[in-house]
Chains A and B, each alone.
Chain A
Amino acid sequence: MATITPAQGELQIRTFQRSPLSRARGHLGGLWGRPITQAIAKALLTIFVTSTITFVLIRLMPGSPVEIKIDELMQQSQISYAEAAAQASGLFDINLNAPIHEQYLEYLGNLAHGNLGNSFLSRGTTVMSIILSVLPWTLFAVGTGLLLSFVLGIGLGLVAAYRRNSLLDHAVSTGGSIISSVPGYLIALLIVLIFGIQLRWIPITQMRGAFTSGITPGFTPEFLGDILFHASLPITVFFLTHIGLWILSMRSATLAALEEDHVTVARARGLSDGRITTAYVGRNAVLPLVSQFAIAAGAVVGGAVIIEQIFVYQGVGLRLVASVNQRDYPLMQGIILMTTVCVIVANLIADLLYSKLDPRIGRAGGATGK
């Protein structure tokens, strides 16, 4: 589960590997050789595979949701199997009489049009519209927490590496390894339990939801402040669960970069410490972390499910658990797909950023040189 409960052990050994496709880049050149083409091809493949997995899960497995729904309908309304099947096919938006491969193709066709079907419970509401109403809140909270932790974690990791074995280094690395080992949802529970219930410092019940219900949405200071107020606890947890990862990764990456020959040469050339830190050490050390950031984005969207549940934050995770409890399969299916798409987009951005940051990638391909 790359639901990374990040572990110090893993970080230090993690060998950074580019895919064989990008290694072949040098030989192929041309359009296929461009990292962006490969990244998009990979993204499309991933969406295709994910949608196939959800199709198989919902449709093909013995005791699949479709079969269960048909049984349910038969018992509820005392109708024949054929009638129940007809109703179920309407609900799932698939033609149960067609051969399975045609159902599959139709399902893929619908997906290509952005049609994820209708929600079981709120009839007539499309899955897409439900997801679009909750996903932005999750992305906002997750993105803010992750970015804050990244910036601060990189700074702390860099400082810790420069002052290796100092008191600060020990405090920062030990603190980082403790906080990154504890599952995020436990941190969320601890916040509610200690600061919400025992000390009563935080009004946890008022902070539920994505914003206070009476307030009018818009770009007003009150509304933006209210959004931040409601998102602050999830953001804090996403921040806390990831800062340790960035501190530890940045620290070990910086230690490795400090030993590089070109840094020694730069010192010998009498370059200023500031220039060495940013251009020679920092930039190289931060490279592998950019890719880790994309991986973390995937894990954090998953972890958000329970954290939103604990804080009752109106994001996609809260909606997922509701859909699971109500057995609203089209919505579950849609949520898997849409969160995967989000992770893919994060990966694409990381890939692009990586090639911008790492001059070696641009040059090695020839065709893609800047």
Chain B
Amino acid sequence: MTTLATTARRRDMALPGPLASAFEFLRMMSKKPVGLIGLIGVLFFLFLAYVAPLIVPLQDQVDVTAIYAKPSWAHPLGTDFQGRDVVNQIVYGGGDIITTAILAALFSTLIAITFGSIAATVGGRLDALILAITDVALTIPQLILLIVIAAIFRPSSFFALAVILALLQWPALLRQIRAQVLSLKERDFVEAARSLDLGLLHIIFREMLPNMRSYIVIHFIIAMTLAIYAQAAIMFLGLVPLSGKNWAIMLYFAYNQGALFFRDSFFYLMGPIMAIALFQLSLVWLASGLEDVFNPRLRS
């Protein structure tokens, strides 16, 4: 009964193309408030990081008369150790950190998908080798390795930083992709493609990956949270050249210039802390909401 009703309803919805599927997606997202809050949060931060700087003028004039000012109408979160507006820095400080996270997630997902699916489809010795490498990489405390690598190479561009982050964070995802491909491998359509001799690349990229799309999207988001965690950590320790503006560098200066011990600077420190924490939370909640949408078993 109920299944019939759902299929009927879905057929109605599917009529006018992409707009309807977007609407259907939103309808399913809104069933679980956590996912919707996550989506709104992520959209808010993306807007803040990429659109707001185009609207709000940059204020990075040093103002010695307003060092560590209390929150006021002119400076809603107060000012920093050089008298610059904190809100303005929050607006300008999201772009780099989010771009790096997206790039790192992209690279690590590519590594994980390529080698994870090769391991699972080819199997045998190659599978054992790739898994052994993955296990080793999983065991080394990655943040410690990252700190040492950052100390030696001092990555100055966010592209270089993204590559280093990606090289460290692929293993967990690779194991999951491999497990996923292993289960897809037994399905009839893959079997059919194999008997048609369509080639390994075709099977992986045309047959399997489209079936793992939702799964990959979710893990892309999780990979972003890991990248933000790690890059904010090394920036907070001052291990990357502290040029440019971003939330973690703000935090570094706030912490190391002694803002911690000015009671009026509470919001100067809370600004970047909250920006990073809330963005992380939004990403995690978006991922969890998407999981419910994509996984019909969890939906009921």
- A residues lining the B interface (CB < 8 Å): 1-5, 7-10, 12-15, 17, 19-21, 42, 45-46, 49-50, 53-54, 57-58, 61, 64-65, 174, 177-178, 180-183, 185-186, 189-190, 192-193, 197-198, 295, 298-299, 301-303, 305-306, 309, 320-321, 324, 327, 332-333, 335-336, 339-340, 343-344, 347
A45 in contact with B260 (CB, 8 Å): no
In the assembled complex, the Cα of A21 lies from the Cα of B135 at a distance in Å of 12
B222 pairs with A10, CB closer than 8 A: yes
Task: Chain A residues near B172: list those with CB within 8 A.
Answer: 2, 10
| Stretch from B47-55, B58-66, B125-133 at the A interface | B125-133
Could you say which residues of chain B place their CB within 8 Å of the CB of A61? Answer: 152-153
| C-alpha spacing A5/B218, complex, angstroms | 15
Nearest A residue (CB) for B165:
A1
20 A-B pairs with CB atoms under 8 Å apart are: A1-B143, A5-B225, A5-B284, A7-B225, A13-B215, A17-B178, A20-B127, A20-B131, A61-B152, A174-B34, A181-B280, A181-B284, A183-B232, A186-B276, A193-B260, A197-B266, A305-B143, A306-B236, A324-B151, A344-B139
Does any Cβ of A come within 8 Å of B136's Cβ?
Answer: yes
A4 cross-chain contacts in B, Cβ below 8 A: 226
Q: Is the CB of A189 within 8 A of B139?
A: no
In the complex, the chain A residue whose C-beta lies closest to that of B289 is: A9
Roughly how many angstroms separate A54 CA and B260 CA in the complex, as a whole number? Answer: 36
Kindly identify, within residues 210 to 245 of chain B, every residue whose CB is under 8 Å from any CB belonging to chain A: 215, 218-219, 221-222, 225-227, 229-230, 232-233, 236-237, 239
Interface size class of chain B, counting residues whose CB lies under 8 Å from the partner chain: 35 or more
B221 in contact with A324 (CB, 8 Å): no
Given contacts A9-B221, A9-B284, A17-B179, contact A343 B139 (CB under 8 A): yes
Q: How far is the CB of A129 from chain B (nearest CB, A)?
A: 20
* CA distance in complex: A53, B269 (Å): 37
A12 touches B281 (CB 8 A): no
Closest CB-CB distance, B279 to chain A, in whole Å? 10
Of the residues A9, A20, A46, A58, contact of B128 by C-beta under 8 Å: A20
* Closest A residue to B154 using CB positions: A63
Give the complex CA separation of A68 and B133 in angstroms: 31
- CB within 8 Å of A: which B199-217 residues: 215
B175 at the interface (CB under 8 A from A): yes
Q: Find A46's partner among B139, B144, B219 (CB 8 Å cutoff).
A: B139
Asked if A340 and B140 sit within 8 Å, CB to CB, the answer is yes
The docked-state distance in angstroms from the alpha carbon of A178 to that of B298 is: 20
| Complex A-B, nearest 4 residue pairs according to Cβ-Cβ distance, in ascending order | A302-B143, A9-B287, A1-B169, A302-B141
20 further interface pairs, Cβ-Cβ under 8 Å (given A3-B233, A339-B141): A3-B143, A3-B230, A5-B226, A19-B131, A20-B127, A53-B140, A64-B152, A181-B284, A182-B281, A193-B269, A197-B266, A298-B141, A298-B142, A299-B141, A302-B143, A324-B151, A324-B239, A335-B144, A336-B145, A339-B144
Give chain B's interface residues, CB within 8 Å of chain A. 34, 127-128, 131-132, 135-136, 138-149, 151-153, 165, 168-169, 171-172, 175-176, 178-180, 215, 218-219, 221-222, 225-227, 229-230, 232-233, 236-237, 239, 251, 255, 260-261, 263, 266, 269-270, 273, 276-277, 280-281, 283-285, 287-288, 290-291, 298
Partner of B136, one of A49, A320, A324, A327: A49
Q: How many Å from the CB of A260 to the closest CB on chain B?
A: 15
Shortest distance between the CB of A357 and any CB in chain B (Å): 21
Tell which of A2, A324, A340 touches B147, judged by Cβ atoms closer than 8 Å: A324
Give chain B residues whose Cβ lies under 8 Å from the Cβ of A50: 136, 139-140
Secondary structure at the B interface, as helix, strand, loop or mixed, is helix
Contacts of A185 in B (CB 8 A): 232-233, 236
A1 touches B230 (CB 8 A): yes
- CA separation between A197 and B266, bound complex, in Å? 9
- A332 lies within 8 A of B136 (CB): no
- Chain A residues, CB < 8 A from B218: 9, 13
**B-chain residues with CB within 8 Å of residue A186 when the two chains form the complex:** 273, 276-277
Q: Is B281 within 8 A of A181, CB to CB?
A: yes
Taking a contact as CB atoms under 8 Å apart, the answer to whether A15 and B176 are in contact is yes
- A198 and B262 CA atoms in complex are apart in Å by 9
User: CB distance B138 to A332 under 8 Å?
Assistant: no
Task: Say yes or no: A190 contacts B179, CB within 8 Å.
Answer: no
Whether A197 lies near B261 (C-beta < 8 A) is: yes
* A200 CB, min distance to chain B CBs, angstroms: 10
- Determine whether the beta carbon of B237 is less than 8 Å from that of A309: yes
**Cβ–Cβ < 8 Å partners of A301 in chain B:** 141, 144
Q: Evaluate contact between B151 and A332: CB separation under 8 angstroms.
A: yes
- Of B140, B180, B230, B239, which is in contact with the most chain A CB atoms at under 10 Å from its CB? B140
